[in-house]
Amino acid sequence: MPPIAIRTRRLILRSPQARDLAAILNLHTNPANLAFDRTPPGPPPTLSSFEPKISEWRAMADRMERIFMIVAIPSNSQRSEFLGSNVRLGYVENEVQDDVVIGITGFNEFVKRDEDSCTEVPHGKFKSTNVGVMIDAAYCRNGYASEALSAILDIGFDHFGCDFIAADTMATNVPFMALMARLGLAACGNEVTGRERGTEMEYAVNREEWIRARATLCEANRVNK
Ligand SMILES: CC(C)(COP(=O)(O)OP(=O)(O)OC[C@H]1O[C@@H](n2cnc3c(N)ncnc32)[C@H](O)[C@@H]1OP(=O)(O)O)[C@@H](O)C(=O)NCCC(=O)NCCS
């Protein structure tokens, strides 16, 4: 699959490039972003430990195992290109040069409907995916996670044909649970106890639930149209 980019009203969600490494490292080492991090303990990441990841992420996306994406605010010129339509989701080639990286998102895994291997855009091929989002603490509470995650849900259902989309976090992660509630998806969450890392919240959103939640958000003008 070629590098992808999803445009939303204020953001570009796009495949990472080598020039993003320092920004990705900052996101993963800023303690303010890591209060609910579930990464197993180990040496802190460094630029050189991250370097091979760009090609690993690309290879995983090619195999449709995982699509790791940058959340960025486009430059003024890219923004003005996008004026004229309220909001749009679409795939564009990733030519951006000077956007500002503010977070990460993406599809953490794909569960196939059948055993066919498929490396092209596989509309209708997937039963489910798991998604997540992190916005740097300096940019939080501006609606960016809502905008990014709703775009990811749109693409997961409309482009990848998923029946349902999962997300999970620690049950202490109030900001993420509040984000899901703001998107109208609180009822799709279940507390699961007994996990190695502690109690977790697991969300499973089906297409109909997202269509309903999205319609309410659009009416309230709170998410991408
Ligand atoms: C959770 C997270 C993604 C929210 O990002 P964000 O860009 O601030 O989210 P939004 O601005 O879209 O917030 C949407 C709503 O979520 C709720 N919310 C977000 N952060 C909150 C917080 N710290 N406390 C309480 N509610 C919060 C609010 O209802 C907010 O709406 P409001 O600002 O109009 O009141 C961000 O805090 C983060 O990246 N945390 C670390 C990574 C993480 O835990 N990811 C989740 C696991 S996948």
Residue written as token pair 């991250």: 50
Distance from the CA of 182 to the center of ligand 1, in angstroms? Answer: 9
Asked whether residue 158 carries a pLDDT value surpassing 60, the answer given is yes
Q: Evaluate if residue 111 carries a pLDDT over 70.
A: yes
Distance 137 CA to ligand 1 centre (A): 9
CA 27–ligand 1 middle distance (angstroms): 15
Structure-token pair, residue 68: 């790791």
Average predicted confidence (pLDDT) for the chain: 86
Percent of the chain with pLDDT over 90: 58
116-155 pLDDT per residue, tens = 555 444 456 789 999 999 999 999 999 999 999 999 999 8
What fold characterizes domain 5-219?
Aminopeptidase (3.40.630)
Secondary structure E strands in 85-221: 100-112, 126-135, 164-170, 189-192, 200-206
Q: Is 3 in the pocket of ligand 1 (CB under 6 A)?
A: no
201 CB under 6 A from ligand 1?
Answer: no
106 strand-pairing partners = 68, 132
Closest C-alpha residue for ligand 1 atom 42: 134
Cα 181–Cα 211–Cα 119 angle in degrees, nearest 5: 105
Q: What is the pTM of this model?
A: 0.91
- β-pair partners for 101: 72
Nearest to 14 by CA among 93, 132, 83, 109: 93
